[in-house]
Chain A
Amino acid sequence: MFRFLAGKQHQLAVVAGASRFGTQTAGLFSEKGYDVVIIDADSGAFSKLPDNFDGLTIEGDASDTFVLEAARIKRAAICVAATDSDSTNSLIAQIAACVYVVPAVYCRLSDTANADMLTRCRIHIICPSDLCLQEFERQSRLADNGGIL
Protein backbone atom coordinates (compact mmCIF):
# COMPACT_ATOMS: atom_id res chain seq x y z
CA MET A 1 0.00 0.00 0.00
CA PHE A 2 2.67 2.54 1.01
CA ARG A 3 4.91 1.51 -1.82
CA PHE A 4 2.05 2.24 -4.22
CA LEU A 5 1.18 5.62 -2.73
CA ALA A 6 4.82 6.70 -2.73
CA GLY A 7 4.36 6.76 -6.51
CA LYS A 8 7.42 4.79 -7.55
CA GLN A 9 6.84 3.48 -11.05
CA HIS A 10 6.73 -0.27 -10.70
CA GLN A 11 4.98 -2.29 -13.36
CA LEU A 12 1.23 -2.17 -12.75
CA ALA A 13 -1.05 -5.22 -12.72
CA VAL A 14 -4.83 -4.80 -12.71
CA VAL A 15 -6.87 -7.77 -11.49
CA ALA A 16 -10.62 -7.62 -12.17
CA GLY A 17 -12.58 -9.83 -9.80
CA ALA A 18 -11.62 -10.97 -6.30
CA SER A 19 -12.42 -14.60 -6.99
CA ARG A 20 -10.16 -17.29 -5.54
CA PHE A 21 -8.15 -17.15 -8.79
CA GLY A 22 -8.16 -13.33 -8.80
CA THR A 23 -7.01 -12.91 -5.20
CA GLN A 24 -4.25 -15.53 -5.50
CA THR A 25 -3.02 -13.91 -8.73
CA ALA A 26 -3.01 -10.51 -7.02
CA GLY A 27 -0.88 -11.96 -4.21
CA LEU A 28 1.51 -13.43 -6.76
CA PHE A 29 1.90 -10.05 -8.50
CA SER A 30 2.69 -8.37 -5.14
CA GLU A 31 5.30 -11.00 -4.44
CA LYS A 32 6.92 -10.39 -7.83
CA GLY A 33 7.22 -6.65 -7.15
CA TYR A 34 4.31 -5.33 -9.19
CA ASP A 35 2.00 -2.50 -8.15
CA VAL A 36 -1.37 -4.23 -7.96
CA VAL A 37 -4.95 -2.99 -8.09
CA ILE A 38 -7.75 -5.51 -7.55
CA ILE A 39 -11.39 -4.62 -8.31
CA ASP A 40 -14.58 -6.31 -7.12
CA ALA A 41 -18.19 -5.18 -6.77
CA ASP A 42 -18.38 -6.88 -3.36
CA SER A 43 -15.90 -5.53 -0.81
CA GLY A 44 -16.37 -8.69 1.28
CA ALA A 45 -14.59 -10.65 -1.45
CA PHE A 46 -11.30 -8.93 -0.60
CA SER A 47 -11.11 -10.94 2.63
CA LYS A 48 -9.82 -13.80 0.46
CA LEU A 49 -6.68 -11.79 -0.40
CA PRO A 50 -3.55 -13.59 0.79
CA ASP A 51 -1.12 -12.08 3.34
CA ASN A 52 1.52 -11.30 0.71
CA PHE A 53 -0.85 -8.89 -1.11
CA ASP A 54 0.23 -5.26 -0.67
CA GLY A 55 -1.73 -3.48 -3.41
CA LEU A 56 -4.90 -1.42 -3.60
CA THR A 57 -8.50 -2.61 -3.58
CA ILE A 58 -11.29 -0.83 -5.47
CA GLU A 59 -14.97 -1.58 -4.87
CA GLY A 60 -16.85 -1.25 -8.15
CA ASP A 61 -17.97 -2.79 -11.43
CA ALA A 62 -14.76 -3.73 -13.23
CA SER A 63 -16.51 -3.80 -16.60
CA ASP A 64 -17.22 -0.05 -16.32
CA THR A 65 -14.55 2.00 -18.08
CA PHE A 66 -14.66 4.67 -15.31
CA VAL A 67 -13.78 2.07 -12.69
CA LEU A 68 -10.98 0.65 -14.86
CA GLU A 69 -9.59 4.15 -15.37
CA ALA A 70 -9.68 4.71 -11.60
CA ALA A 71 -7.57 1.55 -11.38
CA ARG A 72 -5.12 3.25 -13.79
CA ILE A 73 -5.64 0.66 -16.53
CA LYS A 74 -3.98 3.12 -18.94
CA ARG A 75 -0.56 2.40 -17.48
CA ALA A 76 -1.12 -1.30 -16.73
CA ALA A 77 1.46 -3.78 -18.05
CA ILE A 78 -0.87 -6.68 -17.39
CA CYS A 79 -4.59 -7.19 -16.81
CA VAL A 80 -6.31 -10.34 -15.56
CA ALA A 81 -10.10 -10.72 -15.96
CA ALA A 82 -11.02 -13.09 -13.15
CA THR A 83 -14.65 -12.44 -12.16
CA ASP A 84 -17.02 -15.41 -11.99
CA SER A 85 -18.92 -14.31 -15.12
CA ASP A 86 -17.65 -15.24 -18.59
CA SER A 87 -19.47 -12.30 -20.19
CA THR A 88 -17.95 -9.82 -17.75
CA ASN A 89 -14.45 -11.27 -18.18
CA SER A 90 -14.77 -11.19 -21.95
CA LEU A 91 -15.89 -7.54 -21.86
CA ILE A 92 -13.10 -6.49 -19.46
CA ALA A 93 -10.47 -8.30 -21.53
CA GLN A 94 -11.66 -6.61 -24.72
CA ILE A 95 -11.64 -3.18 -23.05
CA ALA A 96 -8.11 -3.78 -21.72
CA ALA A 97 -6.71 -5.16 -25.00
CA CYS A 98 -8.52 -3.03 -27.58
CA VAL A 99 -9.28 0.29 -25.85
CA TYR A 100 -6.36 0.70 -23.43
CA VAL A 101 -3.91 -1.49 -25.38
CA VAL A 102 -2.64 -3.25 -22.25
CA PRO A 103 0.33 -5.39 -23.44
CA ALA A 104 -0.67 -8.62 -21.66
CA VAL A 105 -4.32 -9.53 -21.08
CA TYR A 106 -5.59 -12.76 -19.51
CA CYS A 107 -9.23 -13.84 -19.45
CA ARG A 108 -10.77 -16.64 -17.41
CA LEU A 109 -13.56 -18.43 -19.29
CA SER A 110 -15.56 -21.57 -18.46
CA ASP A 111 -17.21 -21.68 -21.90
CA THR A 112 -14.71 -21.27 -24.73
CA ALA A 113 -17.24 -21.37 -27.60
CA ASN A 114 -16.35 -17.85 -28.74
CA ALA A 115 -12.77 -17.77 -27.40
CA ASP A 116 -11.14 -17.51 -30.84
CA MET A 117 -12.64 -14.03 -31.21
CA LEU A 118 -10.68 -13.02 -28.10
CA THR A 119 -7.45 -14.74 -29.14
CA ARG A 120 -7.57 -12.68 -32.34
CA CYS A 121 -7.25 -9.61 -30.06
CA ARG A 122 -4.11 -11.14 -28.43
CA ILE A 123 -6.06 -12.08 -25.29
CA HIS A 124 -4.80 -15.16 -23.44
CA ILE A 125 -7.57 -17.56 -22.41
CA ILE A 126 -7.50 -19.54 -19.17
CA CYS A 127 -10.16 -22.23 -18.98
CA PRO A 128 -10.37 -24.13 -15.65
CA SER A 129 -12.14 -27.18 -17.09
CA ASP A 130 -9.54 -27.53 -19.87
CA LEU A 131 -6.80 -27.35 -17.23
CA CYS A 132 -8.59 -29.97 -15.12
CA LEU A 133 -8.82 -32.26 -18.13
CA GLN A 134 -5.14 -31.83 -18.94
CA GLU A 135 -4.20 -32.54 -15.33
CA PHE A 136 -6.45 -35.57 -15.25
CA GLU A 137 -4.84 -36.90 -18.40
CA ARG A 138 -1.41 -36.29 -16.92
CA GLN A 139 -2.16 -37.95 -13.57
CA SER A 140 -4.03 -40.88 -15.03
CA ARG A 141 -1.62 -41.15 -17.95
CA LEU A 142 -4.72 -41.75 -20.06
CA ALA A 143 -3.05 -40.19 -23.07
CA ASP A 144 -0.02 -42.56 -22.87
CA ASN A 145 -1.41 -46.03 -22.60
CA GLY A 146 -4.90 -45.63 -23.96
CA GLY A 147 -6.62 -46.94 -20.84
CA ILE A 148 -7.47 -45.63 -17.38
CA LEU A 149 -4.69 -46.34 -14.84
Chain B
Amino acid sequence: MKIAITGGKAEADFLAASLKEHHKLAVINPDTEYARYLADIHNIPVVCGDPRKAYVLEDAGIRHFDALVSLMADDADSLAVCQLAKEKFGVKKTIAVVTNPRNVELFRTFGVTEVVSSAYMVSQHLAQLSTLSSLVSSFSLENEKIVLTELDVSPGSRTAGLPVCSMHLPPHVIIACIIRSGNMIVPDGQTVVNTGDRLVVLSAAEVQNKLIALFMPEKGSI
Protein backbone atom coordinates (compact mmCIF):
# COMPACT_ATOMS: atom_id res chain seq x y z
CA MET B 1 0.00 0.00 0.00
CA LYS B 2 0.95 3.63 -0.41
CA ILE B 3 0.65 5.38 2.93
CA ALA B 4 1.22 9.02 3.93
CA ILE B 5 2.15 9.95 7.50
CA THR B 6 1.62 13.61 8.39
CA GLY B 7 2.76 15.42 11.53
CA GLY B 8 3.51 13.75 14.84
CA LYS B 9 6.73 12.96 16.65
CA ALA B 10 7.22 9.59 18.36
CA GLU B 11 4.05 8.22 16.72
CA ALA B 12 5.34 9.15 13.25
CA ASP B 13 8.69 7.57 14.11
CA PHE B 14 7.01 4.35 15.24
CA LEU B 15 4.70 4.15 12.21
CA ALA B 16 7.56 4.77 9.79
CA ALA B 17 9.63 2.05 11.45
CA SER B 18 6.85 -0.53 11.39
CA LEU B 19 5.48 0.24 7.90
CA LYS B 20 8.55 1.05 5.78
CA GLU B 21 9.44 -2.61 5.03
CA HIS B 22 6.23 -3.51 3.26
CA HIS B 23 4.69 -0.23 2.14
CA LYS B 24 5.56 2.82 0.10
CA LEU B 25 5.62 5.74 2.53
CA ALA B 26 5.34 9.50 2.11
CA VAL B 27 6.26 11.27 5.33
CA ILE B 28 5.40 14.93 5.80
CA ASN B 29 6.47 16.78 8.92
CA PRO B 30 6.24 20.51 9.67
CA ASP B 31 9.17 20.42 12.11
CA THR B 32 12.47 20.86 10.21
CA GLU B 33 14.63 19.14 12.83
CA TYR B 34 12.27 16.22 13.21
CA ALA B 35 11.79 15.84 9.45
CA ARG B 36 15.58 15.54 9.09
CA TYR B 37 15.75 13.02 11.95
CA LEU B 38 13.01 10.85 10.38
CA ALA B 39 14.72 10.92 6.98
CA ASP B 40 18.11 10.00 8.45
CA ILE B 41 17.05 7.25 10.81
CA HIS B 42 14.63 5.49 8.46
CA ASN B 43 16.41 6.29 5.22
CA ILE B 44 13.17 7.37 3.57
CA PRO B 45 12.20 10.59 1.78
CA VAL B 46 10.58 13.13 4.12
CA VAL B 47 8.95 16.36 2.98
CA CYS B 48 9.42 19.18 5.45
CA GLY B 49 6.34 21.38 5.27
CA ASP B 50 2.86 22.13 6.51
CA PRO B 51 0.59 19.25 5.43
CA ARG B 52 -2.46 21.53 5.62
CA LYS B 53 -1.21 23.18 2.43
CA ALA B 54 -2.22 21.65 -0.90
CA TYR B 55 1.17 22.40 -2.50
CA VAL B 56 2.97 20.49 0.26
CA LEU B 57 0.80 17.40 -0.28
CA GLU B 58 1.41 17.85 -4.02
CA ASP B 59 5.19 17.90 -3.43
CA ALA B 60 4.94 14.74 -1.36
CA GLY B 61 3.19 13.04 -4.28
CA ILE B 62 0.30 11.54 -2.32
CA ARG B 63 -2.24 11.57 -5.18
CA HIS B 64 -4.43 8.41 -5.10
CA PHE B 65 -2.56 6.99 -2.10
CA ASP B 66 -4.31 4.14 -0.28
CA ALA B 67 -4.17 5.78 3.14
CA LEU B 68 -3.15 8.88 5.05
CA VAL B 69 -2.54 9.04 8.79
CA SER B 70 -2.73 12.47 10.41
CA LEU B 71 -0.95 12.94 13.74
CA MET B 72 -1.16 16.73 14.00
CA ALA B 73 -1.03 18.19 17.52
CA ASP B 74 -4.25 20.14 16.95
CA ASP B 75 -7.36 18.03 16.17
CA ALA B 76 -8.71 20.69 13.79
CA ASP B 77 -5.46 20.49 11.80
CA SER B 78 -5.76 16.72 11.53
CA LEU B 79 -9.30 17.08 10.18
CA ALA B 80 -8.15 19.72 7.68
CA VAL B 81 -5.33 17.46 6.43
CA CYS B 82 -7.62 14.42 6.10
CA GLN B 83 -10.31 16.37 4.26
CA LEU B 84 -7.79 17.97 1.90
CA ALA B 85 -6.20 14.59 1.12
CA LYS B 86 -9.58 13.01 0.45
CA GLU B 87 -11.13 15.89 -1.52
CA LYS B 88 -8.20 17.13 -3.59
CA PHE B 89 -5.85 14.15 -3.81
CA GLY B 90 -8.25 11.21 -3.94
CA VAL B 91 -6.67 9.45 -0.94
CA LYS B 92 -8.84 6.40 -0.27
CA LYS B 93 -8.68 6.06 3.53
CA THR B 94 -7.91 8.76 6.04
CA ILE B 95 -7.04 8.11 9.68
CA ALA B 96 -6.94 10.90 12.26
CA VAL B 97 -5.41 10.53 15.70
CA VAL B 98 -7.17 13.03 17.97
CA THR B 99 -6.83 14.19 21.58
CA ASN B 100 -10.42 15.29 22.24
CA PRO B 101 -12.54 12.11 22.50
CA ARG B 102 -15.64 14.08 21.47
CA ASN B 103 -14.08 14.49 18.04
CA VAL B 104 -14.20 10.74 17.30
CA GLU B 105 -17.82 10.57 16.17
CA LEU B 106 -17.74 14.13 14.85
CA PHE B 107 -14.81 13.64 12.46
CA ARG B 108 -16.32 10.43 11.14
CA THR B 109 -19.44 12.34 10.17
CA PHE B 110 -17.13 14.79 8.36
CA GLY B 111 -15.76 11.99 6.19
CA VAL B 112 -12.62 10.77 8.02
CA THR B 113 -12.48 6.97 7.63
CA GLU B 114 -11.07 6.14 11.07
CA VAL B 115 -10.71 8.39 14.10
CA VAL B 116 -8.57 7.23 17.00
CA SER B 117 -8.50 8.74 20.50
CA SER B 118 -6.72 7.07 23.38
CA ALA B 119 -9.10 8.59 25.96
CA TYR B 120 -12.10 7.38 23.94
CA MET B 121 -10.69 3.87 23.75
CA VAL B 122 -9.88 3.76 27.47
CA SER B 123 -13.38 4.94 28.39
CA GLN B 124 -15.01 2.33 26.11
CA HIS B 125 -12.77 -0.35 27.55
CA LEU B 126 -13.51 0.63 31.17
CA ALA B 127 -17.24 0.80 30.45
CA GLN B 128 -17.08 -2.75 29.14
CA LEU B 129 -15.06 -3.97 32.11
CA SER B 130 -17.51 -2.50 34.56
CA THR B 131 -20.64 -3.94 32.94
CA LEU B 132 -19.45 -7.40 32.06
CA SER B 133 -19.01 -10.21 34.51
CA SER B 134 -16.09 -12.59 34.26
CA LEU B 135 -18.27 -15.04 32.31
CA VAL B 136 -18.47 -12.70 29.38
CA SER B 137 -15.95 -11.41 26.92
CA SER B 138 -16.66 -9.01 24.13
CA PHE B 139 -15.09 -7.49 21.06
CA SER B 140 -16.15 -4.28 19.32
CA LEU B 141 -16.40 -3.55 15.63
CA GLU B 142 -17.20 -0.44 13.58
CA ASN B 143 -16.08 2.10 16.20
CA GLU B 144 -17.88 0.38 19.09
CA LYS B 145 -21.24 0.33 17.27
CA ILE B 146 -21.34 -3.46 16.80
CA VAL B 147 -20.21 -5.96 19.44
CA LEU B 148 -19.40 -9.61 19.36
CA THR B 149 -20.18 -11.09 22.79
CA GLU B 150 -19.10 -14.46 24.05
CA LEU B 151 -21.10 -15.62 27.07
CA ASP B 152 -22.01 -18.72 29.04
CA VAL B 153 -25.65 -19.59 29.73
CA SER B 154 -25.93 -19.53 33.53
CA PRO B 155 -28.06 -21.97 35.53
CA GLY B 156 -31.29 -20.21 36.50
CA SER B 157 -31.30 -17.80 33.57
CA ARG B 158 -34.77 -17.32 32.08
CA THR B 159 -33.58 -18.43 28.65
CA ALA B 160 -32.00 -21.79 29.62
CA GLY B 161 -34.04 -24.65 28.13
CA LEU B 162 -35.85 -22.42 25.62
CA PRO B 163 -35.64 -22.58 21.81
CA VAL B 164 -34.06 -19.48 20.25
CA CYS B 165 -37.40 -18.35 18.75
CA SER B 166 -39.05 -18.10 22.21
CA MET B 167 -36.31 -16.12 23.93
CA HIS B 168 -37.66 -12.66 23.08
CA LEU B 169 -34.24 -11.46 21.97
CA PRO B 170 -33.95 -7.68 21.62
CA PRO B 171 -33.81 -6.32 18.05
CA HIS B 172 -30.44 -6.25 16.22
CA VAL B 173 -29.24 -9.47 17.85
CA ILE B 174 -28.14 -12.67 16.17
CA ILE B 175 -26.83 -15.78 17.93
CA ALA B 176 -23.99 -16.62 15.57
CA CYS B 177 -23.10 -19.95 17.12
CA ILE B 178 -23.50 -22.20 20.14
CA ILE B 179 -20.48 -24.03 21.51
CA ARG B 180 -21.64 -27.21 23.27
CA SER B 181 -19.10 -29.72 24.64
CA GLY B 182 -16.52 -28.41 22.25
CA ASN B 183 -18.74 -28.69 19.17
CA MET B 184 -20.03 -25.77 17.17
CA ILE B 185 -23.76 -25.55 16.41
CA VAL B 186 -25.19 -22.89 14.13
CA PRO B 187 -28.66 -22.43 15.63
CA ASP B 188 -32.00 -21.87 13.94
CA GLY B 189 -35.19 -20.77 15.67
CA GLN B 190 -35.93 -24.27 16.96
CA THR B 191 -32.50 -24.88 18.54
CA VAL B 192 -32.80 -25.19 22.33
CA VAL B 193 -30.16 -23.42 24.43
CA ASN B 194 -29.02 -25.27 27.56
CA THR B 195 -27.27 -24.29 30.77
CA GLY B 196 -23.53 -24.50 30.21
CA ASP B 197 -23.72 -23.67 26.50
CA ARG B 198 -21.35 -20.96 25.36
CA LEU B 199 -22.89 -18.51 22.88
CA VAL B 200 -21.23 -16.19 20.40
CA VAL B 201 -23.63 -13.33 19.74
CA LEU B 202 -23.40 -10.45 17.28
CA SER B 203 -25.43 -7.38 18.27
CA ALA B 204 -25.74 -3.62 18.28
CA ALA B 205 -23.74 -2.15 21.17
CA GLU B 206 -26.76 -0.49 22.80
CA VAL B 207 -28.59 -3.80 23.38
CA GLN B 208 -25.56 -5.65 24.76
CA ASN B 209 -26.46 -5.24 28.44
CA LYS B 210 -30.05 -6.36 27.84
CA LEU B 211 -28.71 -9.35 25.97
CA ILE B 212 -26.28 -10.38 28.71
CA ALA B 213 -29.05 -10.09 31.32
CA LEU B 214 -31.11 -12.67 29.39
CA PHE B 215 -28.48 -15.34 29.91
CA MET B 216 -27.57 -14.53 33.52
CA PRO B 217 -29.31 -15.91 36.63
CA GLU B 218 -32.58 -14.00 37.08
CA LYS B 219 -31.53 -12.28 40.29
CA GLY B 220 -28.05 -11.74 38.93
CA SER B 221 -25.50 -9.14 39.89
CA ILE B 222 -25.69 -7.20 36.62
Chain A interface (Cβ within 8 Å of chain B)?
A: 63-66, 85-88, 90-91, 94-95, 98-99, 111, 113-114, 116-117
Whose C-beta in chain B lies nearest to the C-beta of A85?
A: B76
A94 near B54 with CB under 8 A, answer no
16 CB-based A-B contacts, threshold 8 Å: A63-B76, A64-B100, A65-B102, A85-B76, A86-B80, A87-B52, A87-B76, A87-B77, A90-B76, A90-B83, A91-B75, A98-B110, A111-B53, A113-B53, A113-B54, A114-B54
Task: Indicate which residue in A65, A66, A90, A98 contacts B79 across the interface (CB closer than 8 Å).
Answer: A90
Q: A85 to B78: give the CA distance in the assembly, Å.
A: 13
Task: Indicate which residue in A95, A99, A111, A117 contacts B83 across the interface (CB closer than 8 Å).
Answer: A117
Nearest-CB distance from A69 to chain B (Å)? 10
Residues on the B chain within 8 Å of A91, using CB: 75-76, 79-80
Residues on the A chain within 8 Å of B54, using CB: 111, 113-114
- Chain B positions 28-85 with a Cβ under 8 Å from a chain A Cβ: 52-54, 74-77, 79-80, 83-84
Sort A-B residue pairs by CB-CB distance and give the 9 closest, nearest first.
A87-B80, A87-B76, A113-B54, A91-B76, A88-B76, A87-B77, A114-B84, A117-B87, A63-B76
Residues on the A chain within 8 Å of B77, using CB: 85, 87
Q: Chain B: interface residue count, which band?
A: 10 to 19
Residues on the A chain within 8 Å of B88, using CB: 113-114
Q: A131 to B83: give the CA distance in the assembly, Å.
A: 25
Residues on the B chain within 8 Å of A63, using CB: 75-76
Q: Does B190 contact A (CB under 8 A)?
A: no
Nearest-CB distance from A76 to chain B (Å)? 18
Residues on the B chain within 8 Å of A88, using CB: 74, 76
Nearest-CB distance from B145 to chain A (Å)? 18
Q: Does B162 contact A (CB under 8 A)?
A: no
Q: Does B106 contact A (CB under 8 A)?
A: yes
Given contacts A65-B106, A116-B87, 15 further A-B contacts (CB under 8 A): A63-B76, A64-B102, A85-B74, A86-B80, A87-B76, A87-B77, A88-B74, A90-B76, A90-B79, A91-B75, A95-B106, A99-B109, A111-B53, A113-B53, A117-B83
Interface string of B97-112 (1 = CB under 8 A from A): 0001010001001100
B84 near A113 with CB under 8 A, answer yes
Residues on the A chain within 8 Å of B109, using CB: 98-99
Whose C-beta in chain B lies nearest to the C-beta of A114?
A: B84
Residues on the A chain within 8 Å of B53, using CB: 111, 113
Residues on the A chain within 8 Å of B80, using CB: 86-87, 90-91, 114
Residues on the A chain within 8 Å of B75, using CB: 63, 91
Nearest-CB distance from B110 to chain A (Å)? 6
Q: A21 to B88: give the CA distance in the assembly, Å.
A: 29
Residues on the B chain within 8 Å of A95, using CB: 106
Task: Indicate which residue in A66, A94, A114 contacts B87 across the interface (CB closer than 8 Å).
Answer: A114
Whose C-beta in chain A lies nearest to the C-beta of B57?
A: A113
Q: A66 to B100: give the CA distance in the assembly, Å.
A: 11
Residues on the B chain within 8 Å of A66, using CB: 102
Task: Indicate which residue in A87, A94, A113, A116 contacts B110 across the interface (CB closer than 8 Å).
Answer: A94
Q: A98 to B80: give the CA distance in the assembly, Å.
A: 16
